Amino acid sequence: MSTSPKKVVVFDYGFGNVRSAERALARAGADVEITRDFDRAMNADGLLVPGVGAFAACMKGLLDARGDWIIDRRLSGGRPVLGICVGMQILFARGIEHGVEAAGLDEWPGTVAPLKAEVVPHMGWNTVEAPPRSQLFAGLDADARYYFVHSYAVHDWSLETTNPAIRAPLVTWATHGEPFVAAVENGALWATQFHPEKSGDAGAQLLTNWIETL
């Protein structure tokens, strides 16, 4: 018996490669729609939040589109959300760019700060160190490479759980000059600093893994 494809909304708040995300999700088998419509974003099986540009500008765009409320309500009901690039960064408590601090969604503690490396931005292909039991990276080789383009990142992870009934967040790391958070799996909320929609076969497998959890 065939099953209907999962419905995924790419949230269109003005900051993100929505068309490339749409194409990649469709290739991975999802029924994709680009919209900022509140009801459609709330009722989709999965919500993808892209992000390109400055932290503060992305946050303003998200707030203007009521994306903060949509994300919070979806997560309160255990409805999956995937953030990509700056769409991941704004999930943290705050971002600092050019000495200016802006508040994030505070779904996770942590600060998005400048990368310290000889070459910035970090632009191109890089490997990651995924934890055991990762669903996001299931079936992917340890030497698989993903496409990054960013000058800021989260360098410390402090959220832990002491309740054995709650699965601890799974954090994936990458290194460019210094280690930084490359991906997070935390209940219904997942995110990647890299662009899976630009990461070839590895990125396609990663998106398929996410869709299969919806």
Instruction: Please report the pLDDT score of residue 135 as a whole number.
Output: 98
Instruction: Please report the pLDDT score of residue 123 as a whole number.
Output: 98
Q: Is 197 part of any domain? A: yes
Instruction: Please report the pLDDT score of residue 168 as a whole number.
Output: 86
Here the contacts of 59-62 (C-beta below 8 Å, separation 24 or greater) are 59/90, 59/95, 59/102, 59/103, 59/104, 59/105, 61/13, 61/14, 61/15, 62/13, 62/15, 62/90, 62/105
Which domain CATH number covers 14? 3.40.50.880
Q: Is 124 part of any domain? A: yes
Q: What domain count does the chain have? A: 1
Instruction: Please report the pLDDT score of residue 2 as a whole number.
Output: 53
Measured between alpha carbons, how far apart are the two ends of the chain, in Å? 18
Instruction: Please report the pLDDT score of residue 167 as a whole number.
Output: 76
Q: Is 107 part of any domain? A: yes
Instruction: Please report the pLDDT score of residue 158 as a whole number.
Output: 87
pLDDT mean for each 10 residues of the chain (214 residues): 86 94 97 98 98 95 97 97 98 94 97 97 98 97 98 92 72 98 98 98 98 97
Instruction: Please report the pLDDT score of residue 70 as a whole number.
Output: 98
Q: Is 158 part of any domain? A: yes
Q: Is 2 part of any domain? A: no
Identify whether 85 is a catalytic site residue.
Answer: yes
Instruction: Please report the pLDDT score of residue 99 as a whole number.
Output: 87
Q: Is 174 part of any domain? A: yes
Exactly one of 22, 58, 85, 176 is catalytic; name it.
85
Q: Is 61 part of any domain? A: yes
Give the domain extent around 177.
Answer: 7-212
Identify whether 197 is a catalytic site residue.
Answer: yes
Predicted confidence (pLDDT) per residue in 156-187, tens digit = 998 876 565 567 899 999 999 999 999 999 99
Q: In whole angstroms, what is the distance from residue 59 CA to residue 56 CA?
A: 5
Supply the angle between the helices 67-76 and 55-64 in degrees, to the nearest 10.
Answer: 80
Predicted confidence (pLDDT) per residue in 117-146, tens digit = 999 999 999 999 999 999 999 999 999 999
Give the residue carrying structure tokens 């705050």.
Answer: 94
Exactly one of 22, 107, 185, 197 is catalytic; name it.
197
Exactly one of 122, 150, 176, 195 is catalytic; name it.
195
Q: In whole angstroms, what is the distance from residue 68 CA to residue 104 CA?
A: 10
> What's the pTM?
0.95
Q: Is 1 part of any domain? A: no
Supply the angle between the helices 18-27 and 200-212 in degrees, to the nearest 10.
Answer: 70
Give me the residues paired with residue 178 across strands: 176
DSSP, collapsed to helix, strand or coil, labels residue 169 as: coil
